[in-house]
């Protein structure tokens, strides 16, 4: 598998520039950062949440943990983790665990941690466990132009 077709089309339609960075197969965001030799704080990972109003993608650095309470406070929503079955249905063209931090490509609202918006370069999963997208801060901001921002995670490494 390579770049998810839904993501590829969205990026092309919106003129968002990126490069592909290949790496060995990995099973976690931190392992991906290490294998690709990129800073874990610059690798965006997605956490899919849901409530009665629908799904939301939280986007945080790979070396951070989501602070669900901060998301509740910022958005005034009581969200919980989406089930693996729901995530698989939403991201049919992606491998499990390699969901791109680009909910907009899949019609999903997003909230992004402020620390990622400040990174000069950002990396994100492309839909498989062997490639990352690499983009400038300006391109990442374009990708997430509709996302809410806030301090929603804390570093654990």
Q: Give per-residue pLDDT as tens, 14-32.
A: 999 999 999 999 888 989 9
| Residue-wise DSSP of 35-71 | HHT--GGGEEEEEEEEETTEEEEEEEETTEEE-HHHH
3-state SS class at 30: helix
What pTM value is reported for the model?
A: 0.95
Alpha-carbon Rg of the chain, whole angstroms? 14
Domains defined for the chain, CATH in brackets: 5-155 (3.90.960.10)
Q: Is the pLDDT of residue 1 over 60?
A: no
Q: Summarize pLDDT for 117-149 with one digit per residue, the tens.
A: 999 999 999 999 999 999 999 999 999 999 999
Backbone angles phi, psi at 43, to 5 degrees: -95, 115
Let me know: does 44 contact 148? Beta carbons within 8 Å: no
């Amino acid at each position: 598998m390579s770049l998810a077709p839904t993501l590829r089309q969205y990026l092309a339609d919106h003129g968002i520039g990126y490069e592909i960075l290949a790496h060995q197969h990995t099973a976690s965001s931190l392992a991906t950062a290490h294998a690709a030799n990129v800073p874990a704080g610059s690798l965006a990972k997605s956490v899919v949440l849901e409530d009665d109003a629908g799904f939301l993608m939280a986007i945080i650095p790979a070396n951070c943990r989501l602070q669900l309470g901060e998301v509740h406070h910022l958005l005034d929503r009581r969200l919980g983790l989406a089930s693996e079955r729901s995530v698989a249905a939403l991201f049919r063209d992606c491998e499990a665990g390699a969901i791109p931090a680009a909910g907009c490509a899949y019609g999903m609202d997003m909230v992004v941690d402020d620390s990622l918006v400040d990174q000069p370069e950002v990396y994100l999963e492309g839909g498989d466990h062997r490639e990352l997208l690499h983009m400038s801060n300006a391109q990442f901001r374009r990708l997430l132009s509709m996302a809410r921002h806030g301090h929603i995670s804390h570093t654990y490494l």
